[in-house]
Amino acid sequence: MSLLAREFRLIRFERIAAWLCLPLLAMLQAWSLASQSGQAAWWAQVGALAGFFLFLDGSRSAKQAALRGWWFATCWLASVFSWLYISMHTYAGLSAALAAAAVLALAAALALYYAIAAALYWRLRVYGFMGSALLFAACWSLAELARGQWLTGFPWGAIGYAHVDGPLAWLARWVGVYGIGAVAAMFAALLAFVLVAVLGYIFGRFISISRLPVSGPRMLSAPAWLLLLAVAVHVGGVWQRAQFASADAQQHSQPVSVALLQGNIPIAEKFDPSTGVIDSLNWYGDQFRQRTESLVIAPETAIPVLKPDLPIEYFAIVTEPYRNGEQALLTGIPLGSPLTGYTNSVEGVKPGGEPYIYSKSHLVPFGEFVPPMFQWFNDMMDIPLDSFSRGAVVQPSFEWQGERFAPNICYEDLFGEELAQRFTDANQAPTVLVNFSNIGWFGEGKVIDQHLNISRMRTLELERPMIRATNTGATAIIDHRGQVQAKAPRATVQVLSGEVTGVGQGGEASSITPYARWAGVWRLWPLWMVALLTLVLVPVVLRRLPALRRSYQ
């Protein structure tokens, strides 16, 4: 067989391998966000993205790179939020075929960000392992940022969440989940280059498109860069953990006893006046009157109907112990009227105070509002309460026993940059975050674990504990270091009783993390600028300064 024929055969084999292997790598990356045990698996995420990078760097055109990026991202995202099928088919009445097609269509649309990023990397890539890793991290970060912010944003499944228990977790307080994702992408690219270098040395050629000459120094440079980055992360982590230990030793706040109510009301019945509504009102009403903890918290739409539709005096009766006793209550409830509009809200009751109201700001497309030109799609589904108004991004916290409890509803805790805006004034910054959720719409599987890890990442970014009251799970108490202190069994009727200790009660500026400082003021623009500058500067530096380029190689 001639050399040219062998080359064509290798190219054809590599193309087939790409289309077959990329879905497997994509599913591995999705699995890394919440493994079978519910824990994140950072090593699986880095390995999966390294595999994708091998095929990306081996692409023979920008078009092929874009197609591979789109195919990988489509399979990955469809695997991440496959639970959307349950909400659309089981509960919203959409046919199985249309529900599956809708999930795939959403994944394919969001994957376009990664297709553009892949093509951009291929166009800009440079000769040099670290330079290429920086470019890949920048391109990947731009895709993640665009997915998380444009068209209201849907960043569920960003790769940084796979590192909530990993060696990169300490970076959250500095650069947030997207910054962690950028560093993880660098690790993945360098890991792929190590494999490229080793195989290139063994077989006398590189498997990447660059096909640079094999040499001992070049073979060693990729492992050297990978080792250098790993050592830097490790040293930084050791230093940061020492800082954490010192800061935690100085905290002497008194804990607040809490009761987190998990009613496990079946979603198929929750808004049915003859079944689920009655069950909700009876169970939560009984718990409101029986609990003795200082703060009682019920999940999103625990009271599933508007106040005018409640039995006469119901709300006044069940909240009487909190208006005239020594306890406080936070409960999810829809509020509003046809004239003022409706809000997905939390109402707080405490002795001697006016009712506290928090209204959800970041609404769920199709579930809580209908995007322009998509009313026809919502008309195909049976979704209650799908026309809510937005609350303000920054709203006052609920003050109780020296703590400032800051609500967020459902997937609002997915947007750390919006929660960070509540920390611009240290004296009014939350001391405890409270998530109110009802994700029973999406089943009892991995969505619960994924959402719990999202909440844990917020506690790492903002260094505030978070307590979660949910209808089906995960009802949990998370400390300010991202560790789950207590968790109720999912899909069961439970009351999780425990204690939470806030952080930053005195308004100390030192209690505000660097991430909360810059994201609270500039949101995610600093990350956008760093990524864009990397795309501009790295090719210029490595292509116009030959001496520096040789040092990278």
Q: What are phi and psi of 476, to 5 degrees?
A: -155, 160
In whole angstroms, what is the distance from residue 360 CA to residue 346 CA?
8
Scored b (16 or more CB within 10 A) or e, 309-342 reads ebeeeebeebbebbbeeebbbbbbbbbbeeeeeb
Q: What are phi and psi of 155, to 5 degrees?
A: -85, 15
In whole angstroms, what is the distance from residue 226 CA to residue 428 CA?
42
Which residues touch 438 (CB under 8 Å, ≥6 apart)? 267, 270, 299, 300, 301, 332, 410, 470, 471, 472
In whole angstroms, what is the distance from residue 363 CA to residue 200 CA?
50
- Composition of the chain by helix, strand, coil, percent to 5: 55, 15, 30
In whole angstroms, what is the distance from residue 53 CA to residue 192 CA?
7
Running DSSP on this structure, what letter comes out for residue 388?
Answer: B
Does residue 175 contact residue 163 with C-beta atoms inside 8 Å? Answer: no
In whole angstroms, what is the distance from residue 262 CA to residue 302 CA?
9
In whole angstroms, what is the distance from residue 128 CA to residue 197 CA?
12
Active site residues: 300, 360, 410
Q: Return the bridge partners of 477, or none.
A: 467, 486
The kind and range of the H/E element at 54 are helix 42-57
Placement of tokens 């905290």 in the chain: 251
In whole angstroms, what is the distance from residue 331 CA to residue 345 CA?
8
Burial of 428 (0-12, 13-18, 19+ CB in 10 A): middle
Placement of tokens 């990955």 in the chain: 76
Does residue 185 contact residue 49 with C-beta atoms inside 8 Å? Answer: yes
Reduced to 3 states (helix: H, G, I; strand: E, B; else coil), residue 505 is coil
Placement of tokens 């004239």 in the chain: 339
Pairing of strands 466-470, 432-437: parallel
